[in-house]
Amino acid sequence: MPRRTVYTAQIEHLQILDENGVLDEQLAKDTLTDEQVVFLYEQMIACRALDEIAFKLQRSGRMHTYPQNKGQEACALGSGFALRKGVDFLVPCYRENAALFLHGMPMRNVLLHWAGDERGNQIPDGVHITPIAIPIGTQMLHATGVAWAFKMRKEDRVAITYFGDGATSEGDFHEAMNFATVFNVPLIFFCQNNQWAISVPREQQMASETVAQKGLAYGAQCIQVDGNDLFAVYKATTEARERARAGGGVTLIEAITYRLADHTTADDARRYREAEEVDSWKAKDPMIRTRKYLERKGLWDDAKQAETQERADAQVKQIVDEVLNYPAPHASEMFDHMYAELPDELRKQRDTMRTSSLGQNPSQAGLKAGEAVRA
């Protein structure tokens, strides 16, 4: 037979909760309970409140550039809730605030980070999260290493890494995907396809019809979900988690969502996006969809909305007050988070604020004998 088909594939799209808040009961079976949806909706409100105040802080000159999470909360919450807090590992990009908070990241850390305070990157003990990653795509390589370590140690743990559609055009994505699938590590690649890589639309940066199909070339399990649907995101991530735990390896989840705000506060999306497009996606806002579902179930009303919003605003105000009055760091803190056990040489530098080794042996830095170097 001179010609034969050696490979065929298809990508499944999953939606469980539609834009009107109507649930597919069969697909939703064994996913989220009503109590869990209420909890996650409350987290959406809190995350959106933080987004709004962060925007105002930047505009008033009290914080640097900030990327809003607005419109993508269901991606972070549905996937983050599917991972086991204190067990699994989150390797984020910079639009997964709600998932980080679920897993123990203090809200203040996000504001400190974007205010330029490195202490925002100090992950508390027991919180299994890496710092926010700004370079596009590099965190996927870190996640692959984390998952590989889990496998080598025979630990029942899974890692998830987040990135945008633009990151799949980076070499780091392909290198990480290839390594992760070859070594069959317990890793979930979670793409938040918000349609825009800053100002470049998805269809201009890739010829593939979906992001999900990119994983097929590497042998990953691949699925596309409605990223504004809490139920679909939770279900797909839960299935990917269990597959990884059972030795089934890597899953690539493409979550179709939309960035309702600018790329960052340094961007003006009106220069490249049509208002009609943005308006059409506002109707698909995961907060609106989730609230409609809860109202249909008799679990939410205007009074609960007002009460929860007031509570979220008070929580965020307290955090902002804490961040704006955060004590200035001491120079010695640069030594505190590099090593689990600080070497004697560096401990001496920290305690004396002198580069003691160079003072003792100036030739190390090409200095003349007797010249000491101060820190």
Identify the domain containing residue 350 by its residue range.
331-365
Q: Which strand (E) or helix (H) includes residue 160?
A: strand 159-164
- Looking at the structure, do residues 273 and 342 belong to the same domain, yes or no? no
- Looking at the structure, do residues 203 and 344 belong to the same domain, yes or no? no
- Looking at the structure, do residues 284 and 192 belong to the same domain, yes or no? yes
Q: Rounded to 5 degrees, what are φ and ψ at 236?
A: -65, -40
User: Does 3 fall in a domain?
Assistant: no
User: Does 25 fall in a domain?
Assistant: yes
Helix axes 73-82, 34-59, angle to 10 degrees: 130
Q: What is the mean pLDDT of the chain?
A: 93
Write out pLDDT tens, residues 78-89: 999 999 999 999
pLDDT band at 358 (very low <50, low <70, confident <90, very high): low
Active site residues: 259, 263, 272
Tell me what pLDDT residue 38 has.
98
Given a contact cutoff of 8 angstroms between Cβ atoms, the answer to whether 159 and 190 are in contact is no
Tell me what pLDDT residue 2 has.
87
Does the structure show a pLDDT above 50 at 375?
A: no
User: Does 1 fall in a domain?
Assistant: no
- Looking at the structure, do residues 246 and 146 belong to the same domain, yes or no? yes
Write out pLDDT tens, residues 231-256: 999 999 999 999 999 999 999 999 99
Number of alpha carbons in the 13 Å side-chain half-sphere of residue 134: 9
CA gap 37, 33 in Å, rounded: 6
- Looking at the structure, do residues 111 and 174 belong to the same domain, yes or no? yes
- Looking at the structure, do residues 253 and 285 belong to the same domain, yes or no? yes
- Looking at the structure, do residues 249 and 312 belong to the same domain, yes or no? yes
User: Does 90 fall in a domain?
Assistant: yes
User: Does 180 fall in a domain?
Assistant: yes
User: Does 370 fall in a domain?
Assistant: no
- Looking at the structure, do residues 320 and 336 belong to the same domain, yes or no? no
Q: How far is C-alpha 66 from the geometric centre of its chain's CA atoms?
A: 14
Write out pLDDT tens, residues 89-114: 999 999 999 999 999 999 999 999 99
Does the structure show a pLDDT above 50 at 149?
A: yes
Total of domains in the chain = 2
- Looking at the structure, do residues 254 and 348 belong to the same domain, yes or no? no
The Cβ of residue 80 has, within 10 Å, a number of other Cβ atoms equal to 29
Given a contact cutoff of 8 angstroms between Cβ atoms, the answer to whether 229 and 223 are in contact is no
Helix axes 171-182, 138-152, angle to 10 degrees: 10
- pTM value? 0.91
Write out pLDDT tens, residues 248-293: 999 999 999 999 999 999 999 999 999 999 999 999 999 999 999 9
- Looking at the structure, do residues 57 and 157 belong to the same domain, yes or no? yes
Q: Would you state the structure tokens that stand for residue 93, as one six-digit string?
A: 């990009």
- Looking at the structure, do residues 77 and 158 belong to the same domain, yes or no? yes
Range from 8-17, 202-211, 346-355 carrying the lowest mean pLDDT: 346-355
User: Does 375 fall in a domain?
Assistant: no
pLDDT band at 368 (very low <50, low <70, confident <90, very high): low
Tell me what pLDDT residue 124 has.
93
User: Does 96 fall in a domain?
Assistant: yes
CA gap 181, 9 in Å, rounded: 17
Given a contact cutoff of 8 angstroms between Cβ atoms, the answer to whether 285 and 279 are in contact is no
Which amino acid is it at 345?
E
Does the structure show a pLDDT above 90 at 301?
A: yes
Which CATH number does the domain housing residue 161 bear?
3.40.50.970
- Looking at the structure, do residues 350 and 266 belong to the same domain, yes or no? no
